[in-house]
Structure 1
Amino acid sequence: MKIDLTDTTSSKINKALVQGRRAIGTPAVGMVLTLVIVTDEENAYDALKAANEASREHPSRKLVVVKRISRSARDRAQARLDAEVRVGTDAGTGETVVLRLYGEVMDHAQSVVLPLLLPDAPVVVWWPVNAPVNPAKDALGRLAQRRVTDTYAAEHPVQELTARADAYTPGDTDLSWTRITPWRSMVAAALDQVDCSVTSVEVEGEEHNPSGELLAMWLANRLRVPVRRSVSAGPGLTAVRMETTCGPITLDRADGALATLSIQGQPDRAVALKRRETSELIAEELRRLDPDDIYASALKFGVHRLGEAKSSLPPLPTREAGSSEHAPAHPVTPASMPVKKAASK
């Protein structure tokens, strides 16, 4: 069911949501969070499609904020809010409100969104494109417990990582980081099978791919060894090669779907490592709403430090008395490389 509202208000939108639920016979809300999607008209369809698919796992109220840039001076001066309310099968699992902002309303998007948030439910804000430099200080970002960006969509993705590190606030995350969860899992699993020290690492992938940089920074930060970033034709990440005191360990994915894990003294194994859709990435991020400390430490390691010799890397922080944080005593213990995302809703 769809309800179109022109030149409307947040109060009228809330009434339309209640009207829509009654019309389809589902008065109960039954949603676990509010997902705010801030995008442009060009990317709104794909972003909403991904969010609807993710809502099968996380029933949510989806608020799509589209700031419309008017061409004429008259339209720019006219403040207006148009909305499209979707409930039932048109909204995936949950409810969807597409908000189109015109004129001065664009500068006050938070005042439009705030009355539409689900009461006593967490808020996640996602910028598929054109994310602010500091999401936590953005007017909409301040409303959220979790702020999701995607440096892959930036004009200069690798440089964007440095800006993200400088502006990092607990609750920030990046889909470029989410894309490498299976890679981190496989690398940790491979190191679980050997009893030796890693001496150097090479991460191979497309040029200007922030996921490759983040994987390299994570490995350098956790293993305290030099990590070299090399370029391939892709797609995406193509290989991780680790030199160890027991021989080389290689995880190679040439086709974007199936990878080969090679460990010295063991037969090669084929492992599924396909490139995931945006809906799967968003669904993974919505499973945890607490700060991702592992992402933070990898991000703050710094792209410029990749390839540094082990002796020049600062030691991992020691665990202080009374602290709950664990600092690994040596670099290759797989337990020191946490990769799994805990469910938290």
Structure 2
Amino acid sequence: MKIDLTETTASKINKALVEGRRAVGTPAIGMVLTLVIVTDEENAYDALKAANEASREHPSRTLVVIKRVSRSPRDRAKARLDAEVRVGTEAGTGETVVLRLYGEAIDHAQSVVLPLLLPDAPVVVWWAVNAPLDPAKDPLGALAQRRVTDAYACERPVQELSARAETYTPGDTDLAWTRITPWRSMLAAALDQGPCTVTSAEVEGEEFNPSCELLAMWLADRLNVPVSRKVSGGPGLTAVRLQSSGGPIVLDRPEASLATLSMPGQPDRSVALKRRETAELLAEELRRLDPDDIYAAALKFGVDRLSDGDGDGPAGGGSGDPAGTAKGEPAASADGTPAKSASSGKKAPAKKAAGK
């Protein structure tokens, strides 16, 4: 069922939601959270489609905020709100309200969204495009427990990671990080299969893909070893190579669905490592509402501390030693705790646990 409201208010939208639920025979509210999607008209369809698919696992009230640009000064000075209320099969397993803001209402989106939030339910804000530099200080972001961005949708995605690190607030996350969850799980499982000492690593993937940098920073932060970044033709991440005391460990994905895991003393094995759709990424992020400390540590490690793969300097264009490890500096222990500094006279090799 779909209800169109022109030049409306939040109270009229709430009334339409109640009427819609009664009309489709579901008067009770069975939703677990409020998902606020901030997007533009061009990307609204894809974002809403992903949210509807994710709602099968997380029934939610979805509020889509679309800020429409007014062409004339007169229209820009006039506040206007149009809404489209969807319930039943039109809204997945929850309910959806598409909000189109005009004029001065654009600068007060939080005032429109606040009366529509589910009472006593967590709030997640997802910027499908055009995320603010500091999501936690954005008026809409301030309403949420979790704030989801996507660096891949930015014009300069790798540089965006540095900005995210500077403004990180517990509760922030990025879909570029979510995309590498299968890679992190596979690498951690590979390192748990036998005792070994990792000495260096290389991450290979297409250019301008922030997931490659995040995976490299995660390895460098958890293992405290030099990690280089190598550019390939893609798609996405294509390979990770770990040099260890027992021999090379390689996770190679030349195509977008199947990868090959090579380990010393073991036959090569094929593993499923497909590129996931946005709906799967969003559903994963909605499973947890607590801060992601591992993401925070990887993000704050810094892109400029990665090697460019040729030994000529950092991948991020900054200065510093590859992976932030100076010559003679000790690596991390198995639990990810930094070992004692070189000045203490004791050294510890990098161990196998690549984070949990």
1:261 aligns to 2:280 (yes or no): no
Q: Name the structure 1 match of 2:193.
A: 193
**What displacement does 1:208 show?**
1.1
Cα distance change, pair 231–143 in 1 and its aligned pair in 2 (3 A): same
Correspondence list, 1:37-56, <5 A: 37-56=37-56
1:303 maps to amino acid = V
Q: Deviations over 1:235-279 (max 9, x none)?
A: 000000011010000000011100000001110000000000000
SS in 2 for 1:265: coil
The 3-state SS of whatever aligns with 2:125 is: strand
2:142 corresponds to: 142
* Separation in structure 2 between the aligned mates of residue 178 and residue 59 of structure 1, nearest angstrom: 20
Determine which of 326, 332, 342 is the counterpart of 2:351. 332
Pairing 1:1-345 to 2, within 5 Å after superposition: 1-307=1-307, 308=322, 310-311=325-326, 327=337, 331-334=350-353, 337-338=355-356
Q: Per-residue CA shift, 1:174-211, capped at 9, x if unaligned?
A: 00000000000000011011211001100000011100
Structure 2 residue identity aligned to 1:9? T
Residue matched to 2:311 = none
Aligned residues: CA RMSD:
1.7
Give per-residue Cα distances to partners, 1:91-117, cap 9 Å, x unaligned.
001000000000000000000000000
Q: Deviations over 1:320-339 (max 9, x none)?
A: xxxxx9837664232x511x
Unpaired stretches in structure 1, ≥5 consecutive residues:
319-324, 339-345
1:71: how far off?
A: 1.5
What SS class does the counterpart of residue 295 from structure 2 fall into?
A: helix
C-alpha distance in structure 2 between counterparts of 1:282 and 1:316, whole Å: 35
Equivalent residue of 1:4, what SS?
strand
Change (3 A) 1:333 1:4: same
Deviation track 1:292-334 (CA, whole Å, cap 9, x = no partner) reads 000000000000111326445977899xxxxxx9837664232
Q: 1:146 to 1:75 in 2, by over 3 A?
A: same
Q: For 2:188 and 2:256, locate their aligned partners in 1 and report how far apart those are by CA, in whole Å.
A: 20
Letter in structure 2 aligned against 1:332: K
Identify the residue that residue 314 of structure 2 maps to in structure 1.
none
C-alpha contact 1:224 1:313 (8 A) present in aligned 2: no
Q: Tell me, in whole angstroms, the C-alpha distance in 1 between the residues paired with 2:336 and 2:263.
A: 28
How far residue 58 of structure 1 moved from its aligned partner, in angstroms, is 0.1
Mapped contact 2:199–2:350 kept (Cα < 8 A): no
Corresponding residue number in structure 2 for 1:343 = none
Q: Provide closer, same or farther for how the CA distance between residues 138 and 229 of structure 1 changes in structure 2, counting only shifts above 3 A.
A: same
User: TM (normalized to structure 1)?
Assistant: 0.93
Q: Identity of aligned pairs, percent?
A: 77
Q: Is the 8 A contact 1:191 1:332 kept in 2?
A: no
Match of 1:182, SS state, is helix
Q: C-alpha separation between the residues in 2 aligned to 1:231 and 1:326?
A: 27
Deviation string 1:13-58 (CA, Å, 9 cap, x unpaired) is: 0000000001111011000000000000000000000000000000
Separation in 1, partners of 2:133, 2:209: 19
Amino acid at match of 1:337: G
**Contact 2:206–2:234 under 8 Å retained in 1:** yes
TM-score of the superposition, structure 2-length normalised?
Answer: 0.90
2:77–2:103 CA contact under 8 A, matched in 1: yes
Give the equivalent residue in structure 2 for 1:322: none
Conserved 8 A contact 1:222-1:331: no
Q: 1:231 to 1:40 in 2, by over 3 A?
A: same
